[in-house]
Amino acid sequence: CQQLLPVRDPQGVAAGKLKLQSWINKHMKIEMTDGRVLIGMFLCTDRDGNVILGSCSEYLNPEVCGFSDEPRLLGLVMVPGRHIVTIHFDYQTQEKDVT
């Protein structure tokens, strides 16, 4: 009986790592399952899809809470991957940082 080992695609793994590395220190917007929006600097992730954001601000969804409030400054946060609905990058802020 021959034991089968999982096949790893080194180029695919390398491409994924490069993409993640290119996101480090970029401003990221995360929409969560409860309607909250977090905006902060992407610092790292793990194999479970959890994300660490630095200099993070929390915005409440006015449709959910009934009013629009000022952002709440959170600082360093860990966002559980199971609560992430969408992730967007703030390219306008990136362009301002470059110039």
**pLDDT tens-digit profile of 40-57?**
999 999 999 999 999 999
In a domain, 70, yes or no: yes
What integer is the mean pLDDT of 10-18? 79
What integer is the mean pLDDT of 54-75? 82
In a domain, 6, yes or no: no
DSSP for the chain, written as a single string:
-PPPPPP--HHHHHHHHHHHHHHTT-EEEEEETTS-EEEEEEEEE-TT--EEEEEEEEE--HHHHSS--PPEEEEEEEE-GGGEEEEEE-HHHHHHHH-
CATH number of the structural domain spanning residue 39: 2.30.30.100
What integer is the mean pLDDT of 1-15? 65
In a domain, 30, yes or no: yes
Mean residue pLDDT of the chain comes to: 84
Query: Are 69 and 39 in contact, with CB atoms under 8 Å apart?
Result: no
In a domain, 17, yes or no: no
Residue-level length of the chain: 99
Instruction: State CA 99 to chain mean position distance.
Output: 24
In a domain, 55, yes or no: yes
In a domain, 11, yes or no: no
Looking at the structure of the chain, the number of domains it has is 1
Q: What is the pLDDT of residue 73?
A: 97
Q: Residue 43 sits in which domain range?
A: 25-98
In a domain, 37, yes or no: yes
Q: What is the pLDDT of residue 87?
A: 96
